[in-house]
Chain A
């Protein structure tokens, strides 16, 4: 087989480029384990989140809204809204990985976390001519350091969480985690506008049942972001 060498090269390239993300995933997963544990979820339930959902921001969203005693529908809606961006990831990867057999596409979909998507998207842009097998190998390589660590660190957080004294103010680790996810996203004026609308409207709607105000605020913020982008693009065209 002449293909074995380039395939393993693609796999290890993905693996190497995925390695730095371990530094983010490990504390993140641990914090989720701690947060789930604090909410009274048992070990199987905490792991159920990380294995079946495998999407940090939406897992944190769900647990936070559950702590607010939001209705079940609102918990599910808000947490899924956080993941809407993954439809965009899916669309971006489809031209590259669409021809793969269904079970491989299903695996690609299951492991489609932010970090792996960002790596694969960049790699396929740089080298669009790679074979399908090489692209899949790269994807698998990028998943290897990132995804299993998510399960392991969640487990560690859930087990060790009980031992962490209240002086560590872990209640605030969750907001800090969210803010740390948001900050790098604030890279353009429309993103800033969307974030500002989201904050103001969520506070204005705070009197509504938990989760309802957030969904409304998010919808308005999305419109605000998209319209700002459109407005800026049109203004640029005219000048």
Chain B
């Protein structure tokens, strides 16, 4: 059963619309709804870390327990993850990081088999 079948069309659209409206509200918030009021310092301090708080937690299980190997840690994929991070940290460039990661993945899969 595919992911889409698991949820069904109405729920998928519910998710899309909720995300669309919610994301728009976040983007419009200070521009439109709350007027031109500066954010308090404490709020900024938390907001600064939202992306870096959510994304690593999301990706960690995917790297350690990939679905393609039925959850068994896989050397090629671990190497690729390390290369992506390494290139990304050094270059500060998302595109280079993706290219470095995928190149490593294909090389490692080809070498390890």
Contacts and interface: CB of A to CB of B under 8 A. Distances in A.
B60 A199 contact: yes
A25 B46 CA distance: 27
A225 B53 contact: yes
Interface in A82-107: 82-91, 93-95, 97-98, 102, 105-106
A64 B29 CA distance: 27
Chain B facing A: main interface SS: helix
Contacts of A83: 22-23, 26-27
A109 B28 contact: yes
A25 B94 CA distance: 10
A82 B20 CA distance: 13
B55 A52 contact: no
A88 B98 contact: no
A184 B98 CA distance: 12
A220 B101 CA distance: 29
A202 B4 contact: no
Interface in A193-239: 194-199, 201-203, 206, 213-214, 217-219, 221-226, 229-230
Interface in B7-44: 7, 9, 11-20, 22-24, 26-32, 35-39, 42, 44
Interface string B69-110: 000000011001100111111001111011001100110010
Contact of A106 (B14, B28, B60): B28
Contacts of A41: 3-4, 12
Contacts of B111: none
For this complex, into which size category does the number of interface residues on chain A fall? Answer: 35 or more
Contacts of B58: 61, 64-65, 78, 178, 202, 214
Nearest to B87: A183
Given A175-B66, A221-B57, 5 more contacts: A84-B47, A180-B94, A182-B51, A202-B61, A221-B52
Interface of A: 23-24, 27-28, 39-42, 45, 48-49, 52-55, 57-59, 61-67, 69, 72, 75-76, 78-91, 93-95, 97-98, 102, 105-106, 108-110, 112, 168-169, 171-187, 190-191, 194-199, 201-203, 206, 213-214, 217-219, 221-226, 229-230
